[in-house]
């Protein structure tokens, strides 16, 4: 018995669509990777739960700052995507920082930390803001004195670092913060589910945007598990943006390497949860995701993206929002009479 022509045609279309979907997913899986459900090691070492619990408290403790006002969470708010949603962060004495605060979510997957990559890992990164005069404005000596003055912290450091003769140290503070930050991942985004085979996790517009993201060349800078964060590129490969977006005074990685080729070179921004982390770019001067997409097409690819292409790519980028970490606000140990007073 022969099938009616419409039924046969419908069946062929279904097979064709399935093949197309599988092809798109296969291409995507060759370039990107899903975020794992849990990170169990960092820098070759298993994550220490006692250190992570200690780091959880330190993350929210404003006494790491000399003013007793600013904590890690002030500029990397875990309730709003791991950044602070302002152009540049406000630090000690109401000073404005020089760059937009990058998200800490999934930062464990980056090749290096900060926009210029000056910290090789999260442990090294954790020391920077604490000491920066424009941020927390403290010193290693003051931090150690503060932590040692609080008996509960002294006991927790001893438990977390049992092999150290003097467990309360600036290095160990950073290790504990790193152990906590490793947990700040966002798995199970629609895009992750699509990569794993759930075809309906992305709608038609998002799939169109994914195809465009790969075809127009965005993947040259934004690839891997964090959709970026792995390499350094000039901002303005084809055409430099205006000074409002690319301030002339911020020469990016040049300040780290002092190499002329690194002028206005920055680490490619990781795009996980990018819909939550506006404003965009190191200058924090662009608030709309669609505008950021259009600027990158023009500056990095030398291509004026059509409105429908911008809309599709932005739709795909919104599929990168994963399950946000649910972090309880900890009850912090009380200061003692010996705790340094705020400045």
Using the predicted structure, report yes or no on whether residue 15 has a pLDDT greater than 70: no
Confidence of residue 1 (pLDDT cuts 50, 70, 90): very low
pTM of the predicted protein model: 0.90
Q: How far is CA 82 from the centre of its chain?
A: 7
pLDDT of residue 247: 86
56 marked among binding-site residues: no
Confidence category of residue 329, pLDDT binned at 50, 70, 90:
very high
Residues 6+ apart with CB under 8 A from 188: 35, 37, 322, 323
**Given a cut of 70, is residue 14 above it in pLDDT?**
no
Go through 203-232 and write b for each residue having 16 or more CB atoms within 10 A of its CB, e for each that does not: eebbbbbbbbbbebbbbebbbbbbbbbbbb
Choice among 150-159, 258-267, 315-324 with the minimum mean pLDDT:
258-267
Whats the size of the chain, residue-wise?
A: 343
**Structural domains of the chain in order of their starting residue, each with its CATH number:** 21-36+187-319 (1.10.760.10), 41-182 (1.10.760.10)
Report pLDDT for 22: 84
Q: Which residues are catalytic?
A: 135
Strand locations in the chain, DSSP E?
41-42, 45-46, 232-234, 265-267
Q: Is 76 annotated as a binding residue?
A: yes
Which pLDDT value is given to residue 251?
A: 87
Rg over alpha carbons for the chain, rounded to the nearest Å, is 23
Mean of per-residue pLDDT scores for the chain: 93
218 annotated ligand binder:
yes
As a whole number, mean pLDDT of residues 49-72 equals 98
């Amino acid at each position: 018995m022969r099938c009616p022509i419409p039924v046969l045609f419908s069946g062929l279309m279904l097979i064709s669509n399935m093949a197309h979907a599988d092809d798109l997913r296969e291409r995507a899986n060759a370039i990107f990777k899903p975020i794992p459900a849990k990170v169990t090691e960092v820098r070759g070492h298993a994550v220490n739960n006692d250190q992570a619990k200690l780091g959880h408290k330190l993350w929210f403790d404003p006494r790491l700052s000399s003013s007793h006002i600013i904590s890690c969470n002030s500029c990397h708010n875990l309730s709003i995507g791991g950044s602070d949603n302002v152009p540049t962060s406000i630090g000690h004495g109401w000073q404005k920082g020089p760059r937009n605060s990058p998200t800490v979510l999934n930062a464990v997957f980056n090749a290096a930390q900060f926009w210029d990559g000056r910290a090789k890992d999260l442990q090294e990164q954790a020391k920077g803001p604490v000491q920066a005069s424009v941020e927390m404005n403290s010193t290693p000596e003051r931090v150690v004195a503060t932590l040692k003055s609080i008996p509960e912290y002294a006991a927790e450091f001893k438990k977390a670092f049992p092999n150290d003769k003097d467990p309360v140290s600036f290095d160990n503070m950073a290790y504990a913060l790193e152990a906590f930050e490793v947990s700040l991942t966002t798995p199970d985004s629609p895009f992750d589910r699509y990569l794993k085979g759930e075809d309906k996790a992305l709608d038609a517009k998002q799939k169109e945007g994914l195809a465009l993201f790969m075809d127009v060349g965005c993947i040259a800078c934004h690839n891997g598990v964090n959709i970026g964060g792995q390499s350094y590129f000039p901002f303005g490969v084809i055409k430099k943006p205006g000074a409002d977006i690319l301030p002339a005074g911020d020469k990016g990685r040049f300040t780290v390497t002092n190499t002329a080729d690194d002028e206005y070179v920055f680490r490619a921004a990781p795009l996980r949860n990018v819909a939550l982390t506006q404003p965009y770019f190191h200058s924090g001067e662009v608030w709309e995701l669609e505008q950021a997409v259009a600027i990158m097409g023009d500056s990095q690819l030398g291509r004026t993206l059509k409105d429908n292409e911008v809309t599709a790519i932005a739709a795909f980028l919104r599929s990168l929002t994963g399950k946000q970490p649910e972090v309880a606000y900890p009850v912090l140990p009380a200061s003692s009479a010996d705790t340094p007073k705020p400045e």
